[in-house]
Structure 1
Amino acid sequence: MNQDYRILQIDPYLSPFAGDIELRMNCYKKARRKLVEDDKMLSSFVNGHLYFGFHEKDNGWVYREWAPNAQDIYLIGDFNNWNDQVHKLKRLDNGVWELLVEGELPHGSRVKLKIKANNHIYDRIPLYCKRIVQNSESNQFDGMIWNPPVPFNWNDKGFVPQQPLYIYECHIGMSGEKESVSSFLEFADNVLPRIKKQGYTAIQIMAIMEHPYYGSFGYQVSNFFAVSSRFGTPEDFKALVDKAHSVGIAVIMDLVHSHTVKNTVEGLAEFDGTDYQFCHHGNKGDHPDWHTRLFNYGKLEVQHFLLSNIKYWLTEYHLDGFRFDGVTSMMYHHHGRGTAFDNYKKYFSMDTDLESITYLQLATELAKEVNPNSILIAEDMSGMPGMCLPITDGGIGFDYRLGMGLPDLLIKMMRTKDENWHMGEFWHELTNRRPQEKVIGYTESHDQALVGDKTLMFWLADQDMYWNMNKDGKNERIDRAITLHKILRFITCAVGGDGYLNFMGNEFGHPEWIDFPREGNGWSYKYARRQWSLVDNPNLKYEYLYNFDAAMLSFLTSNDLYKEPARLLLVHESNKVLAFIKGNYTFIFNFHPSNSYVHMLGDTSAFKLVFHSARQCFGGFVDEVLNTGLLCKDGVVIDRRTAVVLKYTPSK
């Protein structure tokens, strides 16, 4: 047994599970050898998008598809008047089918397949289409030949993501104020400048891969190589990425390899007439909560398809990384349902899906091969050991895990009175991460903004937001909401992770939930948008939160405080105070609902007040020029529900 994997030194509590780590690594090595020889790179093999699908040749086109159970396949489309007897594919070895099309397949042609399998005829969409469009009359989807006569002209050579990693999570379709679907180009023109101005260094975009149901938030993918046509063309998406890079913003995409939609015409579920071509057979292939199909990660062809998909998005669209959705569901046969991961045995048991973990290791290795600067984030609530350690150390290879425990704790805190908040528990969740594994901290993501949940601001202010956000009004609930919204986000950004995430609009306390058009709301877009006019209105208090968000990010960035580890200085339960040190800066947070707190400093001349959450431009009471006015003889006064930062400069 190999005891040399570094993960065992990093976390001594893993020692009893050294054999499980060894098994994890052996499975990975065995799967890798099936794909490539030991001395070759994964990226040399996973080129499914370059072999399958439609490719222009000297005298026409070649089209290939993998459908092992098919009996016959015909390509139909407007290029042949939808004739299902003209263009018949030829069966090659290993379930591969091929068609040579002489002459033109015009750019923009609509295409589909007629597949005979199990003695039945099925309509299907070619799996590697770069664009899928919906027929306005039938509502059915068609594939489209996408081959623009002029290639896109990229201007982002040499782009490298910036630090700190401050992520703006966004959804293109609901990014505008109009009650309709916004586009890539509208987002680039109207929203991207806001993101840049606020100080975010990356955007994490949801719902990019084509999905039949808009209300799925993009998490029920049908066509893995197609940009969602709701938002524009593939060239429009490239233009957005290129523009983001031009202003120093990295682009991370939500990658949904954890499941696929059940739809058969558009998707993978029964492409060749079987339910086991890409997914597990029968009930094992059904997710009991999501009502989607689950991939068979141990199958070579599935690995090839999904890994090629990763390479495709990185190379075709110059993406800077992925946030892998549903990682917890992937790694366990029980999908994490109703499981408390309260001891190490639950990570290494019969419930653990080693084939899935192997796939994740292959995926992270490949992404780093294709783009060594790629940012890889795992949505894992289980805390799997080694998730964010290098594969060579016995890890899975991600850069970051989402800090999903903190938002859950905050919701718990919202259900109780301020005076019952437990500062020790709060600090523990803020700083709780596995040794040497990085976390993205956040107070709320899109999950907390959906119908059935509440945003942090709505938990704090509730319906008073609708009537009492005018600057000339006075409302205790609104005042409380604004002060707590600011300091909860500030402490999260300062100490809650190695990166930070905010969902679009939450930086100014967007007042309403997200509810996509559906039958239950009359197919309305009223709540599937962002009301920027609220923050742009100088008479409303949303501006205070917006100003604070930008100032918070600027302060932490300009002083390199995102690099500094946090050292706990004080946890005071009765005073509701948390204090910690980062470098030469002392952060003090007073969460008490009514009492001020005096933090004793001794020699106050060595300290300078450099940040205060209650400045007037943030809706507070402190003069815009920060001075020593808040410093008393021996310390600093921190008013209720405020946060201050002091810089220490020792006297010579």
Structure 2
Amino acid sequence: MSVSQTPQKPGESERPSQPIKPMPDAPSLFSDFDLYLFGQGKDYRIYEKMGAHPRTVNGVTGVNFALWAPNARAVSIIGDFNQWDRKATPMQLRHGDLGVWECFVPGLEPGTLYKYAICSRFNNYHTDKSDPYGFQFELRPNTASVVADISQYQWRDQEWLEQRPQRQQLNSPMSIYEVHLGSWRHIPERHQEGAVEEDRFMTYRELAESLATHVKKLGFTHIELLPITEFPFDGSWGYQVTGFYAPTSRFGPPEDFKYFVDYMHEQGIGVILDWVPSHFPKDGHALSYFDGTHLYEYSDSRKGEHKGWGTYVFDYGRSEVRNFLIGSALFWLREYHIDGLRVDAVASMLYLDYMRPSGEWNPNHYGGREHLEAVDFLRQFNEAVYDQAPGAVTIAEESTAWPLVTRPTYVGGLGFTFKWNMGWMHDMLEYMHLDPIHRRYHHNNITFALMYAYSENFILPLSHDEVVHLKGSMSTKMPGDLWQRFANLRSLYGFMWGHPGKKLLFMGGEFGQWHEWNFKESLDWHLLDAPSDPHHAQLQDFVRDLNALYKQEPALTTRDYEGEGFSWIDCHDSDNSVISFMRRAHKDEETLIFVCNFTPVPRYGYRIGVPYPGVYNEVINSDDLRYGGSGVINNQYMPSVPRNWQSCPHSILLTLPPLSTIVLKWRPFAEHEMPQPELPTSETEN
């Protein structure tokens, strides 16, 4: 049984054989101003006219169809209502200068299957295309568009939307749980015939409750969805999109996805959507060679094709194509109340020579490798989101040193709110993969990111890309035996939550799944219930407590993107593979100290410098027994002494557990706690 019933295939219609004719005198949905804006690439509500829209004309109900196909000689609507007859329901070229075709078909209703039959002016080219602006599609492998009225859902998240600008400020906590809806969790279903068990996807409505419960329990503030924009091939994970205005039918109809977002907001969880304006697949039913010409893609393959991905590149220099894409972005933010868009593969857009050898790309008119039209598009996109969707964020997956990605366009930036810190991710995973005995020689891996941490507004990602294609799961990346693997993972997460930048963790990483992510299968939830191996549940508890600390301590968020919010205590103790640093808020008493020991050797009497006289207590320790650690903890308050150490006027002695991150918080001395003169000690002279 599928998640949703597959609509009838072409030729299987049970409708009357008499075709329904279009109404020739129906007025156009487009004003002259609409067309002017579309030609300029700035009609940001173009989706309200293009595509299929239920409508009433002179008291007659039906569906209005509109299509941009400037190089078509003839276009007609085909569908289950006219037995897919290419001659039965012709469209009219209403606006010849722009190539906009339109017709109103009486009697049609939501649920009608349709495509556009296009005859090109060139080479007698004929093709049947799904609707670029379609709001719903058939369940794959079928490819017809489905007439949908998405205006009926009653939202209940007004309070969330009003608070969203404050929730998503740079100084607000943002801890993101990255999710692939098709493999987060499956539901076993028993067929009536033969009682055969089979896995199936959860629906949007089923996912809403289950996923929100899990995310809320662990304390994440947001989820980020791998693309749910309609796509034909499961193995693309949604990154090869054919329906830029439609949630995939794999998990239910459009109104169910609205319910999913609405429910998340009711539970206090933001929803970020991966959005892919960087390329599109060559599937014949979709955008490629749309009207017998390279309409949506560049005609020159040196600019318009990603041969390594087998996809086409959008023509960012064409106003109508930019309008299509920016309209899609704003559509998700407006119509589905999405809280942010993470733009995939930005690096591939910025460079003309991306994944192209010499001779297979042309420089720009200045002789450089920068893709100037794509740069202009990204700036226009970010300006439109900032202006049209208050409080929404945009996130760049950008892996190069392109400057000013998260700076305003008026100072020459691209205008994104955040950027994934891919360099931090690669450096840290390379470091953690090493046997601890070798880490002393790679200390730079854990300190280098602070050299550029404030050049952009970074998100620290441990994403899906790092647990596929034989890279192993997060837990199998760690060296050592079972205990050491989980201790390493806890120490990494502790360091990550203390490091400047927002946080992102891909599903399964929160409990240390052993298997590499497989988009065809559910996560290994049974590991959380295994009494013989409690490490998975204990790791999940640690992630929960990290998120709680992150949200309650201003030092971790209020100055996240200010250099004054971070300072090293000691970043030079490579011999012991130990680092220590401070996170600061605006008040001294809110300061937190992080100390990380990336070796399995516990260190007793380890002295670190501290900024203020007073008492320091441990607020979290990844080596705590309840997290699966060895139980080496600092369970007593640690008073400071007025001894200069590591450029600090005071210092304390503490115990460093093996493979651990500990977090300390300061408070002033009470009168009876004033320190005594310090006695000689055998402390570690680091």
TM more than 0.5: yes
* 1:49 aligns with one of 47, 70, 77: 47
Which residue of structure 2 aligns with residue 71 of structure 1?
73
* Match status 1:83 vs 2:85: yes
CA distance in 1, matches of 2:87, 2:652: 90
The offset of 1:401, in angstroms, is 0.6
The offset of 1:269, in angstroms, is 1.0
Contact 2:78 2:116 in 1 (8 A): yes
CA distance in 1, matches of 2:472, 2:421: 18
Which secondary structure state, in structure 1, belongs to the residue aligned with residue 548 of structure 2? helix
The offset of 1:254, in angstroms, is 0.2
Residues 1:569 and 1:373: Cα distance change in structure 2 (over 3 Å)? same
Which residue of structure 1 aligns with residue 177 of structure 2?
168
CA distance in 2, matches of 1:610, 1:308: 47
Write the mapping of 1:588-603 to structure 2, written as runs, cut at 5 A.
588-600=595-607
* Match status 1:317 vs 2:336: yes
Contact 1:113 1:124 in 2 (8 A): yes
Letter in 1 for 2:575: S
CA distance in 1, matches of 2:416, 2:336: 21
Which residue of structure 2 aligns with residue 511 of structure 1?
514
Which secondary structure state, in structure 2, belongs to the residue aligned with residue 552 of structure 1? helix
Which secondary structure state, in structure 2, belongs to the residue aligned with residue 101 of structure 1? strand
* 1:304 aligns with one of 323, 327, 343: 323
Letter in 2 for 1:506: G
CA distance in 2, matches of 1:108, 1:539: 51
Residues 1:355 and 1:539: Cα distance change in structure 2 (over 3 Å)? same
CA distance in 2, matches of 1:337, 1:426: 29
Which residue of structure 1 aligns with residue 583 of structure 2?
582
The offset of 1:61, in angstroms, is 2.9
The offset of 1:132, in angstroms, is 0.7
Letter in 2 for 1:487: S
* Match status 1:329 vs 2:348: yes
Which secondary structure state, in structure 2, belongs to the residue aligned with residue 94 of structure 1? coil
The offset of 1:539, in angstroms, is 4.2
* Match status 1:287 vs 2:306: yes
Moved more, 365-374 or 174-183: 174-183
Contact 1:198 1:550 in 2 (8 A): yes
CA distance in 2, matches of 1:243, 1:234: 14
Which residue of structure 1 aligns with residue 291 of structure 2?
272
* Match status 1:186 vs 2:209: no
Moved more, 311-320 or 613-622: 613-622
Residues 1:164 and 1:605: Cα distance change in structure 2 (over 3 Å)? closer
Contact 1:156 1:242 in 2 (8 A): yes
The offset of 1:68, in angstroms, is 1.3
The offset of 1:620, in angstroms, is 1.6
Which residue of structure 2 aligns with residue 494 of structure 1?
498
Which residue of structure 2 aligns with residue 420 of structure 1?
438
Letter in 2 for 1:366: A
Moved more, 357-366 or 428-437: 428-437
Which secondary structure state, in structure 2, belongs to the residue aligned with residue 600 of structure 1? strand
CA distance in 2, matches of 1:594, 1:624: 14
Larger radius of gyration: 2
* Match status 1:552 vs 2:561: no
CA distance in 2, matches of 1:61, 1:607: 69
Which secondary structure state, in structure 2, belongs to the residue aligned with residue 312 of structure 1? helix
Which residue of structure 2 aligns with residue 606 of structure 1?
615
CA distance in 2, matches of 1:620, 1:435: 33
Moved more, 150-159 or 319-328: 150-159
Which residue of structure 2 aligns with residue 534 of structure 1?
527
* Match status 1:627 vs 2:630: no
Alpha-carbon displacement from aligned partner over 1:530-575 (angstroms, at most 9, x marks no partner) = 1222224454320111000011111122112322422101120101
Which residue of structure 1 aligns with residue 369 of structure 2?
351
CA distance in 2, matches of 1:119, 1:252: 43
CA distance in 2, matches of 1:585, 1:337: 47
The offset of 1:276, in angstroms, is 4.1
The offset of 1:147, in angstroms, is 2.0
Letter in 1 for 2:242: S
Alpha-carbon displacement from aligned partner over 1:500-552 (angstroms, at most 9, x marks no partner) = 00001111111111234xxxxxxxx3xx3212222244543201110000111
The offset of 1:419, in angstroms, is 2.1
The offset of 1:634, in angstroms, is 5.6
Which residue of structure 2 aligns with residue 470 of structure 1?
none
Unaligned runs of 5+ in 1: 1-33, 340-345, 462-475, 517-524
Measured on the aligned residues, the alpha-carbon RMSD in Å equals 2.9
Write the mapping of 1:122-161 to structure 2, written as runs, cut at 5 A.
122-134=127-139, 139-147=141-149, 151-159=152-160, 160-161=163-164
Alpha-carbon displacement from aligned partner over 1:287-315 (angstroms, at most 9, x marks no partner) = 02111000110111111111111111111
The offset of 1:56, in angstroms, is 2.7
Aligned residue-pair number: 579
Moved more, 531-540 or 563-572: 531-540
Alpha-carbon displacement from aligned partner over 1:228-256 (angstroms, at most 9, x marks no partner) = 11121111110110011111111110010
CA distance in 2, matches of 1:207, 1:180: 19
Residues 1:289 and 1:598: Cα distance change in structure 2 (over 3 Å)? farther
Contact 1:610 1:646 in 2 (8 A): yes
Residues 1:313 and 1:43: Cα distance change in structure 2 (over 3 Å)? farther
CA distance in 2, matches of 1:403, 1:349: 29
Which secondary structure state, in structure 2, belongs to the residue aligned with residue 484 of structure 1? helix
Which secondary structure state, in structure 2, belongs to the residue aligned with residue 122 of structure 1? strand
Which secondary structure state, in structure 1, belongs to the residue aligned with residue 505 of structure 2? strand
Which secondary structure state, in structure 2, belongs to the residue aligned with residue 511 of structure 1? coil
Moved more, 108-117 or 624-633: 624-633
* Match status 1:259 vs 2:279: yes
Moved more, 65-74 or 43-52: 43-52
Alpha-carbon displacement from aligned partner over 1:106-165 (angstroms, at most 9, x marks no partner) = 211111121112313211112111111136xxx3311100126x8101000132343301
Residues 1:120 and 1:613: Cα distance change in structure 2 (over 3 Å)? same
Residues 1:328 and 1:85: Cα distance change in structure 2 (over 3 Å)? same
Which secondary structure state, in structure 1, belongs to the residue aligned with residue 307 of structure 2? coil
Contact 1:630 1:636 in 2 (8 A): no
CA distance in 1, matches of 2:661, 2:52: 58
Letter in 1 for 2:101: E
Which secondary structure state, in structure 2, belongs to the residue aligned with residue 377 of structure 1? strand
Which residue of structure 2 aligns with residue 215 of structure 1?
235
Which secondary structure state, in structure 2, belongs to the residue aligned with residue 174 of structure 1? helix
Counting helix residues as a fraction of each chain, which structure ranks higher? 1
Contact 1:311 1:370 in 2 (8 A): yes
CA distance in 1, matches of 2:616, 2:602: 23
CA distance in 2, matches of 1:602, 1:73: 75
Letter in 2 for 1:556: Y
**TM-score when normalising by structure 1:** 0.83
Query: Identical aligned pairs, as a percentage?
Result: 27
Residues 1:227 and 1:501: Cα distance change in structure 2 (over 3 Å)? same
Which residue of structure 1 aligns with residue 684 of structure 2?
none
**TM-score when normalising by structure 2:** 0.79
The offset of 1:436, in angstroms, is 4.9
The offset of 1:430, in angstroms, is 3.6
Which secondary structure state, in structure 1, belongs to the residue aligned with residue 483 of structure 2? helix
Which secondary structure state, in structure 1, belongs to the residue aligned with residue 631 of structure 2? coil
Letter in 2 for 1:545: L
Moved more, 390-399 or 429-438: 429-438
Which secondary structure state, in structure 1, belongs to the residue aligned with residue 486 of structure 2? helix
CA distance in 1, matches of 2:601, 2:634: 25
The offset of 1:629, in angstroms, is 9.0
Which residue of structure 2 aligns with residue 480 of structure 1?
484
Residues 1:624 and 1:567: Cα distance change in structure 2 (over 3 Å)? closer
Which secondary structure state, in structure 2, belongs to the residue aligned with residue 284 of structure 1? helix
CA distance in 2, matches of 1:415, 1:622: 24
